[in-house]
Amino acid sequence: MRRLVALVGLLGCFEAMAADYAPLPVTRFHSVLPADGKAAPASIAAFSMRTEPVTNAEFLAFVIAHPAWRRGNVPTVLADGSYLAHWEESLTLGREALPAQPVTQVSWFAAQAFCESEQARLPSWYEWEYAAAADAKRADARSDAAWRQRVLDWYGRPASSSLATVGGEANVYGVRDLNGLVWEWVDDFNALLVSSDSRDQGDGDKAKFCGAGALTFQQKENYATLMRVAMLSALKASDTTRSLGFRCVRNL
Amino acid sequence: MKRLLLSLSLLLFANQICAEQALPSDSVYQAQITLVDQSGQQWRWNEQRGHVQIVSMFYTSCTMVCPMIVDTMKFTAQKVSSAKRDRLHLLLVSFDPATDSVAVLRDYAQQRKLPAPQWTLARTVQLADTRQVSALLGLQYRQLPDGEFNHSSELILLDAQGRIVARSDVIGRVDMEFVQAAERTLADD
């Protein structure tokens, strides 16, 4: 009987902690990275996205349940030396990591493992870009110069300033903090700038890339988004940085 | 008898722990990935531990650079003069697990004359694990709407513990520095 009570208590606890996911409808999205390298829109199936980035408190609950992902237990091939280094101890957040701040200093492998633990996955770049193109009133705010300027202004903020907590203004889908809080991992972060087309290169030594269709950027004025692509492309999957967090998505 | 069995199993267990602990922190085998190869056999990625390997990624329907990657791997292995050359394993992992079934991999190995046991052509059992393999190896790829892939082309040398000890983006001819690295790694092993 006592066991039952404990179980119910545990379930209640899970319920309280379950993250909010908001649905995004199917779309054909004009990405800064055209699907075919020329102009084709990306086909995106309906999915749901965490309304907020994963917080320190949520990641702490994850490492409590999954000791392999505690600081000190993770091999360097899966997360570099600064993995969760701003936490006071492996199971204590401390002063530098408030519970409601987005978790940062997590590697792509760790982010993937977290999402898997809640039956979710990391978003693809297209899914993330699609969600992040919306503001509070419009599904696609990217043609608005003022919107673009706000994103760029955030990039200009010094990395040393402390992070805000999650819970910014919701966009039309009910998703928050896509722009203006942290950078976020995407599943295919290491795929974004694979661009050279081998057929353009006569020299076998330089035939580094295989496959049809070179990647070119559309919407070149949209360099706020392009900067994010460049930043993600420069990362290794084991890298962790002070301003890089993540959120998860689920198929619908 | 029971106690003997118990201590035996404890011993086995302890051995297993020791073996796991000995795996270096920067070994790609730290990640848990299951592959299936051209013979239909399923195995854990870390079962390659103990073999010096040249690894790359490809996909069978690729007609552009992939055949060159395979040839470059073949010629690179042939240049390795060490008496231990037989112990050098060659592993190709597919970018395209949805298409590259066991039968497709087996046909490709036959057509391209890539004999087992030296050559292993494999795909991940879980589709999502392909991205993990590429991330561990530092290779980039992206699927295009027409089913083709854009991807980086490199040969990667893993030592017996699964650490990346050399990589080469020279494709189409043999990179002698890479060959020397393979020889050194085989000699150290």
Amino acid letter for position A141 = A
SS3 of chain A: the string is CHHHHHHHHHHHHHHHHCCCEEEECCEEECCCCCCCCCCCCEEECCEEEECCCCEHHHHHHHHHHCHHHCCCCCCCCCCCCCCCCCCCECCECCCCCCCCCECCCCCHHHHHHHHHHCCCECCCHHHHHHHHCCCCCCCCCCCCHHHHHHHHHHHCCCCCCCCCCCCCCECCCCCECCCCCCEECCCCHHHCCCCCCHHHCCCHHHCCEECCCCCCCCCCCCHHHHHHHHHHHCCCCCCCCCCEECCCEEEC
| A4, pLDDT greater than 50 | no
Instruction: Give me the mean pLDDT over the B155-164 stretch.
Output: 97
- Check residue A17 and give its pLDDT: 60
Contacting B with CB below 8 Å, chain A residues are: 35-37, 40, 43, 75-78, 108-109, 112, 121, 187-188, 190-195, 197-199, 204-205, 207-215, 236-237
Q: Do B25 and A190 touch (CB under 8 A)?
A: no
State the nearest Cα–Cα gap between B150 and chain A, in angstroms. 5
A69 confidence band (pLDDT: 50, 70, 90): very high
Task: Tell me what the pLDDT averaged over chain B comes to.
Answer: 88
- Check residue A199 and give its pLDDT: 36
CA dihedral A230, A235, A237, A241 (to 10 degrees): -110
Can you give the length of chain A in residues?
252
- Check residue A76 and give its pLDDT: 96
For chain B, what is the total number of helices (H) and then of strands (E)?
A: 5, 9
- Check residue A198 and give its pLDDT: 38
Residues 6+ apart with CB under 8 A from A165: A55, A98, A100, A101
| A219, pLDDT greater than 60 | no
DSSP secondary structure of B21-78: HHS-TT-GGGS--EEEETTS-EEEGGGGTTSEEEEEEE-TT--SSHHHHHHHHHHHHH
- Check residue B128 and give its pLDDT: 87
B161 touching chain A per CB within 8 A: no
Phi, psi (deg, nearest 5) at residue A187: -60, -45
Instruction: Give me the mean pLDDT over the A33-49 stretch.
Output: 86
Task: Tell me what the pLDDT averaged over chain A comes to.
Answer: 83
B67 touching chain A per CB within 8 A: no
3-class state of residue B82 by DSSP: coil
Instruction: Dump pLDDT digits (tens) for A111-143.
Output: 999 999 999 999 999 999 999 999 999 999 998
| B15, pLDDT greater than 60 | no
Give me the architecture of the A2-251 domain, per CATH: Alpha-Beta Complex (3.90)
How far from each other are the two terminal CA atoms of chain B, in whole angstroms?
A: 40
pLDDT: which is higher, A89 or A215: A89
- Check residue B149 and give its pLDDT: 86
Candidates B65, B63, B112, B64; CA nearest to B90 is B112
B75 confidence band (pLDDT: 50, 70, 90): very high
Instruction: Give me the mean pLDDT over the B23-50 stretch.
Output: 95
Residue extents of the structural domains in chain A: 2-251
Of all residues in chain B, the one with the smallest CA distance to A124 is: B142
- Check residue B62 and give its pLDDT: 84
Tokens representing residue B71 in the block? 């040839």
